[in-house]
A and B are shown apart, each in its own frame.
Chain A
Amino acid sequence: MLWYKAWLETRWRALFLLTIILFVVAQIHSHSKTANATVTLLHGLEFIWIVNAMSLAGSGIRTDSPFRVLKGIQGSMYFTLSLPMSRLRLLATRAAFGLFEIAAVIIIGCCIAGLAAPELRAQVTLADAIGYAVATFLSCSAVFGISTMFATFLDQQWQIFASMFAIFGGSWIVSQITGSHFDLLPAMSTASPLETHVMPWAAVSASVGICVTCLLAAWQIEKVRQY
């Protein structure tokens, strides 16, 4: 039933993000006569995929506000914690469902893009499209992991700021230090299978590593967190 709770809390968010994706796809369709549709798609969707992953990370084991801030969200956490289950189970269910939703939004988004923009079908092979979806999902898992970890000890607004800073600010700081452009999630942009026609295994492995590390950190924080 924890899946059911997670679904009720996040379904409008997922639907809203799908609507935005539809809007971006419509833009691709209208601009594809003058620009490279795949590049437009990449640039148009990368930020949305990141927001999608961050948004669906939710509030960890705390109750999420499904649509608007509602009275009682904070206090209902105590009801959750009184149920006879471990915090690991709460976190694992929430994380698994969040990752499932991210995958679903990416797959549906890619399908909609392919169906709505014939130009894309002409330029992108099925293998590249699947590779793009997989690489995007695995890259998003890093964002999801980071955001889930911050959710274990920060309120929702600070969780978003902290996640943004970790992803964009972190990349910028590394770029400044190394003197060369650093992209934390290259599998969604420069190293995407749509551009290179090969799976960016190193990049997606790094993303999965970040995701696993952050989820393990979230679990360790939840173990000692006091409510």
Chain B
Amino acid sequence: MSDCVIEVNALKKSFGGRPALNGLDLRVPAGSIFGFLGRNGAGKTTTIKTLMGMIRADSGAVRLFGADAGEPAPNIAARQRIGFVTEDKDLYPYMTVEQIVRFTRPFFPQWRDDLERRYLKMFDLPLKRKVSDLSKGTRSKLMLLLAICHGAELLILDEPTDGLDPAAIEDVLRELVAIAASQGTTIFFSSHQLPEVEQIAESICIIDKGRAIVSGVLDDLKQYYQRFQIVLEHELPTSMRWVDGVEHVRQEGRTISILASRNADAVEGQIASLPGATVERYPVGLKEIFLEHVRSDENALV
């Protein structure tokens, strides 16, 4: 049996002939905190909606907890074990906080009253206030409470900290890490806030134009990815063929910037063989990896 909670293989989905997912592959290990990154329109929400059974893929496979989740019945069974926070954080606006908690509780037999009390207090949620009167940040907290309290084995969170103030973001991130550590809950979350992802995610996937372009354990990626800054005395040979692992080469005058995703030593060796080249090697953060892969660059050579 697979130890992945989410497995997505060659997933394709088009809307009106425009591809939203274009052969997406994704594996989320059980118990991990997994960051799902991409630009607006990259296919993140479409992926999440497919996982939640809201839309049906054109082709490919979706497995949740090892079972095919592309069909309604197994998807419903999987949703029993999933806590979900939507992108818009919209809940029934006419219900009070107390009513929506009371409404949600019976759907989940594993509902944790202790967690409910804890998060009501921690998030300072006003029980008698209507959802329509709550700020987006407070609705985010309420949705997190509803997602967490039913003892979910998998949390799917679409921009979970959207609308929260910095202090609340820290609280939420700390709680997510604590939940993953103490209960073994898998957390799959999409975010545009790269520092947050870098702070808590163990693994990441960067999606662009409906395909996964970078995927792996974040620490490994940060170890493998290296940037080389080269200053050349002479022109770069036009027939230059870079070794395997070079992702992007950008040239501005005599200065060349190279991003390598692996084989950093081999890349450095190749650079060192260039006559009169001075090289500096830098570690690369998630933000740089993300931007290098999703941003088009007119100075790029590779």
A residues apposed to B, CB below 8 Å: 1, 4-5, 8-9, 63, 66-67, 70-76, 78-79, 81-87, 223-224, 226-227
Q: Is the CB of B56 within 8 A of A226?
A: yes
User: Which of A75, A76, A84 lies in contact with B79, CB distance below 8 A?
Assistant: A84
Query: Is A84 in contact with B91, judged by CB distance below 8 angstroms?
Result: no
Q: List which B207-254 residues lie within 8 A (CB) of chain A.
A: none
Asked whether B82 lies within 8 Å of A76 as measured between CB atoms, the reply is no
A83 to B86 Cα, complex, angstroms: 12
Interface centre among A79, A82, A86, A224, by most chain B C-beta atoms within 10 angstroms, is: A82
Other than the given A8-B95, A63-B92, A84-B77, 10 more pairs (CB < 8 A) read: A1-B102, A4-B103, A72-B131, A72-B132, A76-B90, A78-B52, A79-B143, A81-B52, A82-B79, A86-B72
CB-based contact B107/A85 at 8 Å? yes
Contact A82 B82 (CB under 8 A): yes
In the complex, which residues of chain A have a beta carbon less than 8 angstroms from the beta carbon of B99?
8
A1 touches B93 (CB 8 A): no
A1 engages B103 (CB within 8 Å): yes
Cβ contacts under 8 Å, B106 to chain A: 1
Closest to B78 in A: A84
A227 to B49, CA, bound (A): 8
How many of chain B's residues touch chain A, expressed as a range?
20 to 34
Q: What residues on A are CB-neighbors of B77 within 8 Å?
A: 84
Tell me whether A8 and B80 are in contact in the complex, defined as CB-CB below 8 angstroms, given that A71-B132, A82-B52, A84-B108 are known contacts: no
> Which 4 A/B pairs are nearest by Cβ-Cβ distance?
A75-B90, A75-B88, A72-B90, A84-B80
Using CB atoms and an 8 Å cutoff, list the residues of chain B in contact with chain A: 49, 52-56, 72-73, 76-77, 79-80, 82, 84, 86, 88-95, 99, 102-104, 106-108, 131-132, 143
Minimum CB–CB distance from A214 to chain B (whole Å) comes to 22
Nearest CB on A from B54, distance (A): 4
Q: Which A residue sits closest to B147, measured CB to CB?
A: A82
What is the distance, in angstroms, from A208's C-beta to the closest C-beta of chain B? 28
B94 to chain A, nearest CB (A): 5
CB pair A78 B86 closer than 8 Å: yes
CB distance from A14 to the nearest CB of B (A): 15
A224 / chain B contacts, CB cutoff of 8 Å: 56
Which listed residue (B76, B88, B103, B143) contacts A84, Cβ 8 A? B76
Most buried by B among A5, A63, A84: A84
Residue in A71, A79, A85 whose Cβ sees the most chain B Cβ within 10 Å: A79
- Verify B53–A84 contact, CB threshold 8 A: no
Known: A70-B93, A72-B88, A72-B132. A5 touches B103 (CB 8 A): yes
CA distance A9 to B77 in the complex (A): 27
List residues of chain B with CB within 8 A of the CB of A74.
90
Tell me the minimal C-beta distance from A55 to chain B in angstroms: 17
Contacting pair B55 A227 (CB below 8 A): yes
With both beta carbons as reference points, the residue of chain A lying nearest to B55 in the complex is identified as A226
Q: Is the CB of A78 within 8 A of B55?
A: no
Docked Cα-Cα span, A158 to B130, in Å, equals 29
User: Which A residue's beta carbon lies closest to that of B143?
Assistant: A79
Say how far B104's CB is from chain A's closest CB, in angstroms: 8
B55 neighbours in A (Cβ, 8 Å): 226-227
Q: Once the chains bind, are B107 and A76 in contact (CB under 8 Å)? A: no
Residue of B nearest to A70 (CB): B93
Asked if B107 and A78 sit within 8 Å, CB to CB, the answer is no
**Contact in complex: B94, A79 (CB < 8 Å):** no
Of chain A, the residue at the smallest CB distance from B139 is: A72
Smallest distance from the beta carbon of B6 to chain A beta carbons, Å?
Answer: 15
Between A and B, 18 residue pairs with Cβ closer than 8 Å are A8-B94, A8-B95, A9-B94, A72-B131, A75-B89, A75-B90, A76-B92, A78-B49, A78-B86, A78-B88, A79-B91, A79-B143, A81-B53, A81-B54, A84-B77, A84-B80, A86-B73, A224-B56
